[in-house]
Structures are given as C-alpha cells and as structure tokens.
C-alpha cells in the first residue's frame, strides 16, 4: 500500500480523484433520490369532498375513515358530502375563492372541466413515489393530461343491464341478448301492455342523455378524437337515433312514461315488474339486491354490442388533491389510501362498486358472486367513457331534449340526429380552442 | 237544535261536502306519506300496491334517527332559523318604525332599495356571497348562513313592520310622550305591544324562509356540524338508492317542527296578517 501511494503520479492521483468524486456525487444523488421516493407523511386537518350521499356509501366512508385514522393517526380527516347535482357549482365557487377542501372526488366525465377550471393539483410526483400506483395504473390515464397525473383511481362504474329472469323464461327467451338487434327482440318479446308489462325501462327523463351517447358510440365508434375533432357521422347518428327512438315509438317495448323517467322511475318500474330489463351500472348492485333476489328473480347482463362498438362504457372515479390546499401531503395520503386495495374492498362490499385496484378486484367477494362475472367480462370489452370539455352540456342540453322531442312526436330521429351532430361539431371546435389556450397558458409549468 | 239543523239549506251541506273534499285532497298525500313510512321498501315497490295494515312498523323512524345525523341537522336548522328571526326582527322593527314615523328626504328611495334587494334572484348572488363569506372566514358557520339569510329576509321584514306601524295612529305615541316617555320609550311601551301579532306573523314568515332554504345552505356549509335539515334531506336521496321508507319518515319528521311552531303562533300570525283589514 505504501509502495502504491509512493508510486502515485500526479496524473494518476487526479484520475483517482475524478473517479472518486464522480462516485461520491452519484452516491449522494442516489441516496437523496431514494429518500425522495417516500412521500412526506401528512399531518393536521384534511378535508375531503365527495358526492356520495346514499346510506351504503356513507357507511363505507365511515369504515374507511376509521381505517385511515389507524393508518395515519397524525391526520384528522373530515369527510364532507356535496350532492352530485350541486357539485360543480360548489367546486367552481371554491376554486374561484381559492378556498375549499384538501382532497376532492373526480368523476371521469367531469375531469377535463374540473382540470380547466383550475381546481386540481398535479400529483405526478406524489404518484410516482406511491408504492400502490402500479395497482391502479390501468385507470390512471383517465385522470392524466399532458403527461401529468391528477387523480388516484378509486373504483369504476361498469355499465351493464339487469333483467328479470322470470320474465325472460315466460317469454321463452333462452339466450341472453348480446347484440342490439337481439336486445330489441327480447324487449319486444317481454312486452305485454294488457298486463302493464314492457320489455325495457328506458331512461328518457333526467340522466337519459347518457344513453343517447351510448347509442351514438355503438353505431359510430368513437365520436370525438383525442385532439377534440368530432368524428360522429350523420349517417351513424341517424341510425342510432332511429334505433333508440323506435324502441319506444314504433315497437312500444318501453314503459310509456319514458319521457319523464329518471333513475327513480326506471328502477321503480323494474322492481314493480312493469319492465323486464333496465340499463344501469354496478352502482345500483346493492339496491337491486335489496328488492329482488339475484339468481332467481334478477340477473346481470353485459351491454349489447352495436354495429361499431359496445352500448356502454366504463367510467372510473378518482380522488385528487385540490389546487389551493394548504395540506397537499395529507390530501394525497388520503386520496392514495382510498386507492389502496383495503379501502376499495370496503367499498366493494358495502356498495358493489367495482375496484380499480387489481389486488382488490381479485377479492373473494367478487370471485364468489356470479353477478360480477358480467363486470369482469365487460372490463375487457367496454370502452372508457368520454371526457371532453362541454360533454355534459351537449349530452344534457342537446341530446336529451332532442330525444324527448322524438318521443312526443315533435321531432324526427333524422332531425334530432342532425342537430346532435351539428352541436357536437360546435362543442369540438370550442374544446379544441380551449385546449390550445390551455396548452399555451400552461407551457413550461 | 234539531229543528235548526233541518232548516239549513242544501247549499250549506254542499259547501261542507266541498270543503271536506278539499280538506281530504290536501291531507291525503300526508296520510299516504305517513303510511308509506311505516311500510318496508320491498312492500312499497310491489305492484299493484296493496293497502294493508300488517307489517307496519316505526323501523324507518328509528333507522333515520340512528343512522343519519337527523338530530344534529334539526338542531342546526333551529339555531340558524332562530338567529335569522332574531336579527331580522330586531333590525327590521327599528328600521320599519323609523321609516314609518320619520319623515326625511329619500325615504321612498330607501324603501325602493330594500324592495330591489328582495327582487334580486338568490342564485345570482351565490358566487359573490361565497367569496365574501370566505374572505370573512364565515364559511361553514352558523353566523355566515344567518347573515346570508338575513340579507333576503330583512327587506321583507322592514316592509311588513313598516306596514304594521303605519296602521297604528301616531297620537297614541304622542300621548305617551306628553306623559314623559322618550321616543324609544313610547315605541317600546306603546307601539311594540300593539304590533305583536305583526311581529309574530313576520317572524313566522322569516323562520319558514330560513328553515326551507336549500340553495345557500348547500353552498355555504359543507360539514355536518353546520348543515341544515333541508340539505340533509336532499342528501338522503342517494345517487343509486331508493330508500322510500326512510325518505317518507324523514319528511314526516321534518313536518313536525313546522306544525308545532304554527300551532304555537298560528293564531297570532293570522291576526297579524289580517290586522288593519277592517276599518273601525
């Protein structure tokens, strides 16, 4: 060793110093990178807004909050509810006031609107450091924009159809309908107006606009490109509107009060035996089970396939961090806790909401419950729902009223389709313009 | 007595039958709501529905009391309504008295401004009100909600109270002042006791406005600590549930404070509303 040191030339010494320095720098940065991989533990009060007001959801939130208290005792979580109908008004007000909750629920159909209003915080760094991110990675892109993550997926609503098994047997239907043509035939076969019985409880009142979007997508394929270019053709829209309107107007296979039927009415009709089928998603799973017996009275069925795609969507739901929070660490800790398999399993058992976590999706509750087979099968075939600026306004203020006019005979499916396509083009142009502005405003941020 | 009854014309009985039908028409939905609240959800959803007295229970009422924040929501509503009534009546009575008795330049203008405030739709003020309350740190607080309600109830209170004071002859107060009362003393000892029915009527109308509001309560409160009853009822309707028995039970429960309140001040309120309608 002494010889080695004694024989060191100045050049060799410099070489060793350079290598040692580089290794030291790399080591330091590696150790600091390792340290940064762990999110900072949150402390203090954290307020969370969600729009779930039903008793099963409240109970599930109570249970998960207790579990969160044990997992993160330094955080005092305050879970607050805002009714779904009033959600955007309150969100806009709190974003404008730069004062609101710390964490917020994000429905995927509202994601782009909530992002552009400016109330969602970029959580990409948090998400990268969160060990559970891989488990919900399948749905994370639905809450990402411009390569930035804004939400931790919580669970996903999978569209499906409930049908009365006894009605199908009485009508002699042996094979579950898989296409829209078969769905129509089944609805007609189950219709018997003299008994006050119809094939389908169609939603033509509040919330009915979503089914028009379903029909347009099933006949056209994607109606909006990722760069906000409307891709809905008039021919496809006409076919879609003809199918959906004629099911009520010509086939008379739907409950006659369709034009005013919202969620409460279609499910009342279904429970009361006035309709053989009703379309919804897994969110109503528990409520249906309280009124009808799964297996003997009611079954689930995948949404039918249209000429271009399935008649339905997967709509994930996430939790994000409010832009103006003073406690982002605690907010992300709570949002990521709800994204964990443990919390998602509590919600699955309490509400039937399908988890986004791959670990939670393999829970015994799902494996033992045959009704979820439909959801598992649909996961592979159902497209993700749309989320573009102006979607909800176009859906509820153009699609639904035009459909309702068709039902009462003041509009034709062709006329309605033209207005729907025209308005979608207007919405797409506005969305593209808003998108360019958003990009230019946020360039470099 | 029997002879008297026989003499009554047919029209008398027809009118009574008509009134009976109207009363039934008004009360039947409440009876049906109460009946539904005693049934099970499965029974409610049966078609055709059967009118049966078997399997009736108060389970829904116990469930609402146990599983929701019903007592807290009712308490919050009572606190906010009471505070709104107190502030509105206190300010409205003085303002109404001043506008009734004092003659000053711009008096009509002041009254018109109050009327204009009353005419502005509440929904237009939602966002500004939220921002304002946020700046004051009064979001999600009783006082914030009370002040928001007072903004809308005060103009009506002032107009109503001015009307009641106008109906009193000023000579009564003048006599009291000759006997040594100050203006405030005359108002307190002479005028206020005479407008008590008016105060009761105005207070009841104010309380009903505050009790029934959903719009401002939804926006300005977010926690169960301050949330009022109508918001709680609205939230009870889950997105994907139809708990008819719980909803009807809570509807009946929410009627009770209003019915009790009206029973207590109803007579005074009617007297107040009709005060001054007859000439002496």
Interface of A with B in 228-287 (CB under 8 A): 263-264, 267-268, 271-274, 280, 283-284, 286-287
Count of C-beta atoms within a 10 Å radius of residue B208: 16
At B257 the pLDDT is 80
The 10 Å Cβ neighbour count of residue A336 is: 24
| Distance from C-alpha of A73 to C-alpha of A125, rounded to nearest angstrom | 23
Q: Which fold has domain A158-313+387-435?
A: D-Maltodextrin-Binding Protein; domain 2 (3.40.190)
DSSP string, A101-138: -SEEEEEGGGHHHHHHHT-B---HHHHHH-GGGGGGTT
Q: Is the pLDDT of residue B117 over 90?
A: no
What pLDDT, on the 0 to 100 scale, is given for residue A12?
Answer: 55
Domain limits, chain A: 5-150+315-381, 158-313+387-435
Rounded to an integer, what distance in angstroms lies between the CA atom of residue A178 and that of residue A182? 6
Produce one character per residue of A151-187: b if its CB has 16 or more CB atoms within 10 Å, e if not.
Answer: bbbbbbbbbbbbbbbebbeebebeebbeebeebbbbb
Handedness of CA B15, B17, B22, B27 (dihedral sign): positive
Burial class (CB in 10 A: 0-12, 13-18, 19+), B141: middle
CB distance from A160 to chain B under 8 Å?
no
Domains A5-150+315-381 and A158-313+387-435 share a fold: yes
Confidence of residue B244 (pLDDT cuts 50, 70, 90): confident
pLDDT in tens, A305-314: 999 999 999 9
Q: Is the pTM of this model over 0.90?
A: no
Select from B221, B128, B222, B135 the least CA-distant residue to A99: B135
d(CA A1, CA A154): 61
Q: Within 10 A of A57 (CB to CB), how many other CB atoms are there? A: 23
Strand, helix or coil for residue A382:
coil
Select from A258, A317, A327, A296 the least CA-distant residue to A100: A327
- Which among A83, A89, A196 has the least Cβ separation from residue B126? A89
Sign of the C-alpha dihedral computed for residues A51, A53, A57 and A60 taken in this order: positive
pLDDT tens across A285-303, in order? 888 998 899 989 999 999 9
Q: Give me the residues paired with residue A354 across strands.
A: A156
pLDDT the model gives residue A232 = 97
Report whether pLDDT(B230) > 70: yes
Tell which of B226, B241, B250 to mutate to test the A interface (max A CBs under 10 Å): B241
pLDDT at A365: 83
Of A49, A89, A283, the CB nearest to B239: A283
Q: How far are the Cα atoms of A182, A202, A274, A364 from residue B47, in angstroms, in the given order?
A: 28, 18, 8, 36
Q: What is the pLDDT of residues A241-278, one digit of tens each?
A: 999 999 999 999 999 999 999 998 999 999 999 999 99
In sequence order, which ranges of A250-322 are alpha helices (DSSP H)?
263-271, 285-291
- Block residue for tokens 């997967």: A314
Q: What is the pLDDT of residue A27?
A: 45
pLDDT of residue B6: 66
Instruction: Tell me if chain B has a CB within 8 Å of the CB of A84.
Output: yes
A-chain residues within 8 Å CB-CB of B216?
none
| Cα A98 to the center of its chain, rounded Å | 26
Domain ranges of chain B: 11-46, 59-275
Report residues of chain A scoring pLDDT below 50. 1-6, 8, 10, 13-14, 16, 21-36
Higher-confidence residue: B18 or B238?
B18
| pLDDT more than 90, % of chain A | 65
- Whether B45 sits inside 8 A of A272 (CB atoms) is yes
Res A63: pLDDT: 93
Is the minimum CB–CB distance between A60 and chain B shorter than 8 Å?
no
**pLDDT tens digits, one per residue of B142-161:** 999 999 999 989 999 999 99
Asked whether the beta carbons of residue A291 and residue B41 sit closer than 8 angstroms, the reply is yes
C-alpha closest to that of A110 among A357, A340, A315: A315
| A96 interfacial to chain B (CB closer than 8 Å) | yes
More confident residue, B55 or A125: A125
B218 with A99: Cβ contact below 8 A: no
Q: Give the ipTM of the model, two decimals please.
A: 0.72
- Chain B residue numbers with beta carbons less than 8 Å from the beta carbon of A267 are 242
Which pLDDT band holds residue B278 (cuts at 50, 70, 90)? low
**Residue B80 to residues B146, B226, B229, B273: CA-CA distances in angstroms?**
6, 9, 11, 24
Whose tokens are 């104010």? That residue is B206
Name the CATH topology of A5-150+315-381. Answer: D-Maltodextrin-Binding Protein; domain 2 (3.40.190)
Across the A:B interface, residue pairs with CB atoms under 8 Å apart total 90
On whether the CB atoms of residues A267 and A200 are closer than 8 A, the answer is no
CA B156 to CA B178: how far, in whole Å?
33
- Pick from A78, A97, A286: CB nearest B134: A97
CA distance B162 to B62: 46
CATH, domain B59-275, list 1.20.1560.10, 1.10.3720.10, 2.30.30.60, 3.40.50.620: 1.10.3720.10
Question: How is A38-61 classified by DSSP, letter by letter?
Answer: SPPPP-EEEEEEE---SHHHHHHH
Enumerate chain B positions whose Cβ falls within 8 A of a Cβ in A. Answer: 41-42, 45-47, 67-68, 126-127, 130-131, 134, 139, 218-219, 222-224, 231, 234-243, 246
Alpha-carbon torsion (A96, A102, A107, A108), positive or negative: positive
Chain B interface includes A119 (CB < 8 A): no
């Amino acid at each position: 060793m002494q010889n080695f040191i004694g024989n060191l030339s100045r050049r060799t010494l410099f070489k060793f110093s350079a290598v040692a320095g580089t290794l030291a720098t790399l080591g330091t940065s590696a150790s600091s990178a390792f340290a940064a991989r762990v999110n900072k533990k949150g402390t203090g009060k954290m307020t969370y807004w969600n729009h779930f007001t039903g008793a099963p959801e409240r109970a599930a939130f109570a249970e998960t909050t207790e579990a969160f208290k044990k997992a993160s005792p330094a955080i005092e979580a305050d879970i607050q509810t805002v009714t779904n109908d009033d959600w955007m008004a309150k969100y806009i007000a709190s974003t404008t006031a730069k004062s609101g909750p710390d964490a917020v629920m994000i429905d995927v159909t509202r994601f782009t609107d909530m992002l552009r209003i400016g109330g969602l915080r970029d959580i990409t760094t948090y998400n990268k450091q969160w060990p559970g991110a891989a488990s919900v990675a399948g749905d994370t892109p639905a809450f990402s924009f411009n390569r930035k993550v804004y939400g931790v997926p919580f669970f996903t609503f999978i569209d499906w159809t409930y049908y009365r098994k006894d009605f199908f047997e009485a009508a002699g239907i042996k094979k579950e309908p898989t296409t829209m043509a078969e769905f129509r035939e089944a609805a007609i076969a189950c219709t018997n107006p003299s008994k006050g019985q119809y094939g389908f409880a169609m939603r033509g009142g509040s919330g009915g606009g979503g089914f028009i979007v379903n029909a347009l997508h099933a006949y056209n394929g994607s109606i909006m490109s990722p760069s906000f270019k409307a891709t809905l053709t008039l021919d496809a829209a006409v076919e879609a509107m003809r199918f959906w309107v004629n099911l009520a107007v010509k086939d008379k296979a739907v409950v006659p009060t369709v034009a005013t039927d919202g969620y409460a009415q279609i499910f009342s009709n279904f429970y009361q035996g006035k309709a053989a089928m009703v379309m919804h998603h897994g969110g109503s799973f528990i409520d249906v089970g309280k009124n009808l017996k799964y297996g003997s009275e009611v079954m689930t069925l995948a949404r039918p396939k249209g000429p271009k795609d399935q008649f339905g969507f997967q709509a994930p739901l996430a939790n994000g961090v409010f832009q103006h929070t003073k406690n982002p660490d605690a907010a992300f800790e709570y949002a990521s806790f709800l994204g964990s398999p443990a919390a998602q399993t509590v919600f699955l058992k309490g509400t039937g909401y399908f988890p986004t976590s791959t670990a939670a999706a393999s829970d015994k509750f799902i494996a033992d419950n045959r009704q979820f087979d439909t959801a598992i099968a649909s996961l592979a075939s159902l497209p993700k729902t749309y989320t573009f600026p102006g979607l909800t306004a176009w859906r509820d203020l153009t699609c639904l009223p035009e459909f309702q006019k068709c039902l009462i005979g003041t509009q034709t499916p062709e006329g309605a389709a033209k207005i729907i396509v025209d308005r979608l083009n207007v919405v797409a142009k506005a969305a593209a313009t808003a998108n360019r502005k958003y990009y230019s405003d946020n360039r470099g941020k | 007595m029997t002879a008297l009854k026989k003499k009554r014309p047919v029209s008398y009985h027809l009118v009574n039958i008509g009134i009976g039908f109207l009363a039934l028409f008004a009360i039947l939905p409440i009876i049906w709501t109460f009946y539904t609240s005693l049934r099970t959800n499965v029974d409610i959803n049966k078609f055709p529905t059967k009118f049966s007295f078997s399997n009736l229970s108060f389970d829904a009422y116990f469930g609402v009391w146990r599983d929701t924040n019903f007592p807290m929501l009712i308490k919050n509503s009572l606190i906010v309504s009471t505070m709104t009534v107190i502030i509105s009546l206190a300010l409205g009575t003085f303002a109404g008295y001043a506008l009734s008795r004092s003659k000053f330049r711009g008096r009509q203008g002041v009254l018109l401004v109050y009327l204009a405030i009353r005419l502005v739709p509440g929904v237009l003020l939602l966002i500004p009100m939220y921002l304002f309350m946020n700046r004051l740190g009064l979001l999600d607080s009783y006082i914030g909600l009370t002040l928001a309600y007072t903004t809308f109830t005060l103009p009506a209170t002032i107009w109503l109270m001015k009307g009641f004071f106008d109906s009193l002859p000023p000579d009564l107060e003048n006599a009291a002042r000759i006997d040594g009362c100050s203006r405030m003393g005359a108002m307190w000892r002479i005028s206020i006791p005479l407008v008590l029915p008016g105060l009761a009527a105005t207070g009841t109308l104010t309380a009903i406005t505050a009790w029934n509001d959903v719009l401002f309560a939804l926006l300005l409160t977010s926690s169960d600590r301050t949330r009022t009853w109508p918001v709680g009822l609205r939230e009870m309707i889950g997105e994907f549930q139809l708990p008819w028995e719980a909803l009807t039970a809570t509807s009946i429960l929410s009627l009770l404070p209003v019915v009790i309140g009206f029973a207590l001040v109803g007579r005074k309120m009617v007297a107040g509303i009709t005060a001054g309608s007859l000439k002496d």
